[in-house]
Structure formats: C-alpha cells, structure tokens
Amino acid sequence: MADTYIAPRQQMVRDQLEARGIKDKNTLAAMGKVPRHLFVAQEDRQCAYGDYPLPIGSGQTISQPYIVALMTEALGLSGGENVLEIGTGGGYAAAVLAEIAKQVVTVERVADLADLARDNLRASGHQNVTVICGDGTLGWPEDAPYDGISVTAGGPSVPKALKDQLAVGGRLVMPVGRSSGSQDLIRLTRVSQEDFKEDNLGGVRFVPLIGAEGWTQAPVWF
C-alpha cells in the first residue's frame, strides 16, 4: 500500500522534533518510519501528524509526537533491548519503541484499547510487540528485567514493581505528580541493585495511571 503520508511525517520530524532539540538518531529514524496515521481513527488521518494528542476512544489519547520522541530519546536505546511500556493506548509509542528495541511488552488496562492496539500493530507490521491487558502498575515480571521502561500515564509515584523489574543500567521514564498541572517527566537510571539516579525532564500532562500502585480511580481534576 502506497504511503501517502511520507511528506507530513518528514515535516513532523523536522518541525516538531528536530526543531525542539530531539537529537537521538534512533528516535528520529523510528518517528520518521512509523505510520502514525494507522494509529488514529479513520476520520482523524488527515491530522495524524499534527502537533497535538488525539482521542483514540475509551476517554484516552494518542500522545503528541514530541512527547513520544522525548520519552523514547530519554530511554537512550541503542538497539536490541528488551523494553516494557505501561499504557499501550492504540499502540503508537509501542511501535516507535519496537523500531529500536528487540522486543516490546506493553500493558493496557482497558480491554478495548488492548484489542485496538493489536489490530493497529498488525496493520503497521510490528511483530515484536506483545500487548497484554492488565494492571501495568504491577509491571510484567515474566519478561523482566527490562533495559527500558516507559510509563505513558501519570501516577503519584514510580510503582515499586516497575523499579524492581528494571535491569541494572536500565532506564525508566514516567510522568509523576499529584495533579494534572504538576506532573514532571521523571527518568530513573538503575545504577546498581539498590541505587537509582533521578533526572527531571520537565513538566508534562498525561492521563492518569489507574491501578494498584497508581491512582485508585480517576482523580477529581481529570
């Protein structure tokens, strides 16, 4: 099938990513390759490469391209890694990660979205992604440890299960904050079995992480 979206995708990489300081070659190549229009509703395809999130059903969104790139770059993947994503949504960020990593396991709590993501990833040809329906705040111990963990929903703190499942030397990125206005994108690097280094990558706004080690329900601000 001819890809009629090559030009808007290249423009997205140039104007939204490179222009704002995304430098990592693997991230830029992956964002330039994944057909984002296959991860949005049919009627939204014309604006799939716009500089904003879009609705994907079940009250959830596909993240803004820049945010996906920022989180992917922050993981510092060089290729061949084992990666865990929490919050699959429609599967777009999982596809971007799968362009670089060897395998991606992604966990989504809403069954309809897990099904949608499986369909989308089949259509985009990403066979190295496993979509699991469940509470991602518990991680996915079966395939641990992970070289990278990306959490694409905001929680009050980094779930202990996810820290435990991170390989030594691995990195985790997650929006952490008490309210919609004050989430910070946090990066943890596991420097040893016991020690984690923390970087704050700046303010962001994500949908809530709901689960045993996240919010118990959608908080009032949502």
Residue 63 interacting with ligand SAH (CB under 6 A): yes
By CB neighbour count within 10 A (0-12 exposed, 13-18 middle, 19+ buried), where does 11 fall?
exposed
Note the residue count of the chain: 222
Q: In angstroms, rounded to a whole number, what is the distance separating the alpha carbons of residues 106 and 160?
A: 18
Question: In this chain, which stretch among 5-13, 20-28, 162-170, 210-218 interacts with ligand SAH, using CB under 6 A?
Answer: 210-218
CB 157 to ligand SAH: min, Å: 13
Show the site string, 94-133: x = touches ligand SAH by CB under 6 A, - = not: -------------xxxx--x--------------------
> From the list 31, 86, 121, 186, which residue makes contact with ligand SAH (rule: CB under 6 A)?
86
- C-alpha to C-alpha distances, 80 to 97, 107, 204, nearest whole angstrom: 11, 20, 28
Question: In this chain, which stretch among 4-12, 24-32, 82-90, 163-171 interacts with ligand SAH, using CB under 6 A?
Answer: 82-90
CB 68 to ligand SAH: min, Å: 6
- C-alpha to C-alpha distances, 88 to 10, 175, 197, nearest whole angstrom: 24, 15, 26
Catalytic residues: 63
